[in-house]
Amino acid sequence: MSLIQKILIFILFFTALGFISCFDKNNLKNPCAWAGKYEYEEEPVQAIAGYYMAMIWELSISKNNDSCQGILEVNGQQTYIKFLTDILGDTSSIAITYNKLIEGTDENFKKGDTLFILSKNGDKIITKWAIMEPRLLEKHPKECGCFTLVKNKS
């Protein structure tokens, strides 16, 4: 093998290695890997009048041009809100941040406020509450395995 062939192989090898390295880094930073529909159903709570109150959270995440966005709906006991959210993070953890109110009660959030964070622990999705929290119980854990993937959009 000539010196030129060895140099070409060396250049091709490191070019390929660099390409693979960049691809992997970009893939790890991709919050749209979370694309899909997620749900969380709060544990029903009995009201003073005897009926049970329910609260259902739905989060649909999808790619929008070069970013990732979501629609968050919270529907239940005297509550209906629908937000456009921005999804920031990577393949292991994402922050659900407020973009704007679509419908329902204005919660006085500011664009960029972190509502909550989702992270993966094996097959389990962990929710870390920020400025939005479950609504039925006065006391609730700051972290839980609340949301589940209902439908993957990948």
Per-residue pLDDT, 21: 39
Summarised one tens digit per residue, pLDDT across range 9-53 is 545 444 444 433 333 444 468 999 999 999 999 888 888 888 888
Collect contacts of 49-52 with beta carbons under 8 A, ≥24 apart.
none
Per-residue pLDDT, 7: 56
Confidence band of 66 (pLDDT split at 50, 70, 90): confident
pLDDT surpassing 50 at residue 79: yes
pLDDT surpassing 60 at residue 5: no
Torsion of CA 121, 125, 131, 136, to 10 degrees: -130
Coil vs helix vs strand at 10: helix
Cα gap 27→43, rounded to integer Å: 36
Q: Count CB neighbours of 40 within 10 A.
A: 19
CB 82 within 8 A of CB 58: no
pTM here? 0.77
What are the boundaries of each domain within the chain?
31-152
Coil vs helix vs strand at 38: strand
Per-residue pLDDT, 154: 54
Task: Considering only residues 141 and 149, tell me which one the structure prediction assigns the higher pLDDT.
Answer: 149
In the chain, the percentage of residues whose pLDDT exceeds 90 is 53
Coil vs helix vs strand at 4: helix
pLDDT surpassing 80 at residue 78: yes
Q: Where are the beta strands (DSSP E) in 24-66?
A: 36-41, 45-46, 52-53, 55-64
- Tokens 């893939």 map to which residue? 27
Cα gap 15→100, rounded to integer Å: 43
pLDDT surpassing 60 at residue 137: yes
Per-residue pLDDT, 33: 94
Cα gap 154→45, rounded to integer Å: 35
- Angle among Cα 135, 139, 144 to the nearest 5 degrees reads 80
Summarised one tens digit per residue, pLDDT across range 91-111 is 999 999 999 999 998 889 999
CA nearest to 127, candidates 68, 41, 52, 4: 41
- Tokens 């006065």 map to which residue? 138
